[in-house]
Amino acid sequence: MATVQISDDILEGIKDKVILITGGASGIGKATAELCLKHGAIVVIGDLNSLPSDLETSEKLKFIKLDVCSWESQRDAFIQIEEWFGRIDHVFANAGVGPTSNLLDNSLDENGQLTPPDLQTINVNLIGVISTVRLAIHYIQKHSAHRASGELGSIVATASAASFQNFSAGDYTITKHAVLGLIHAMEYQLEGKVRLNAVAPSWTATGMVQSAFIEGLGVGVQQPEAVARSVALLFSDQQRHGDIIYSWDGNYLEINKAEGGFLEAADRIIVNSANEEMVVRKLREADLIA
């Protein structure tokens, strides 16, 4: 597998770039926004939640109330950014939620008939990401003339370590496998137009993760700032297209183009990393996830 080193020098490539981060008010999105601002980028956070108190809007940081489950909300956000800055250079399709349904719920309606599945996680983590990517492709290409010759804008999507293994949080796992499918399906079509990459973090301290409980099982939980560095690298490095960077505890591996191919790389990660499925089962036993 290809170990990835991330230097501060390479991150300087995001200076003065206009970056949209969905789900940027907390967790990995917030850490990425702060890192991009530190390196001189112009950042727009789109989120249903308001900005936290330690982030304030400025010439370099804008906020848009954004519902990724609404095409109109997302489209209007891209239009607003275009009006503000005249272009969009990079988009982080990051907004997401944890498991909300195990898809095996046998709940019945008032007539005794099986109710439809709860698709909240699928709507946010998959349909929302597809909408973000579709809009990002259009607007990044539309503004290509604003960039230096040969320089491409990029999209980064949030996958997960759950993307390439058994992980019995059903609805969540479906969506994260699908993010990898998005990379595999669209890499060739976007060649030379827009760079499309993904990050696949292991357990990360966000609002979705019960950090203390997981650490009590002897499993490490990385900080969101570690993942943010891999996102910023994918924005900055013009050579990266179709990459998937797996991260754990501040370590990074590119697994999609690793020697031996994606499946071999993923298999080696699963063998040598913490048992993710064990953690999911313990979380479920403790009634901490659906």
* CA dihedral of 39, 146, 192, 12, whole degrees rounded to 10: -10
Concerning whether 252 is annotated as a catalytic residue, the answer is: no
Concerning whether 172 is annotated as a catalytic residue, the answer is: yes
224 CB-near residues (< 8 Å, 6+ apart): 27, 28, 30, 31, 32, 204, 205, 206
- Of 17, 139, 172, 252, the catalytic one is 172
DSSP per-residue string spanning 30-44: HHHHHHHHHTT-EEE
266, two tokens: 């993923």
* CA dihedral of 203, 204, 209, 212, whole degrees rounded to 10: 90
Cα 210 to chain centroid, rounded: 19
**What letter represents residue 39's amino acid?**
H
The angle at the Cα of 76, spanning 74 to 78, to the nearest 5 degrees, equals 75
Q: What are the residues facing 204 on neighbouring strands?
A: 222
In which residue are the tokens 């290409």 written? 141
- Of 30, 176, 246, 252, the catalytic one is 176
DSSP per-residue string spanning 137-192: HHHHHHTGGGS-TT---EEEEE--GGGGS----HHHHHHHHHHHHHHHHHTTTTTT
User: Annotated catalytic sites, by residue?
Assistant: 172, 176
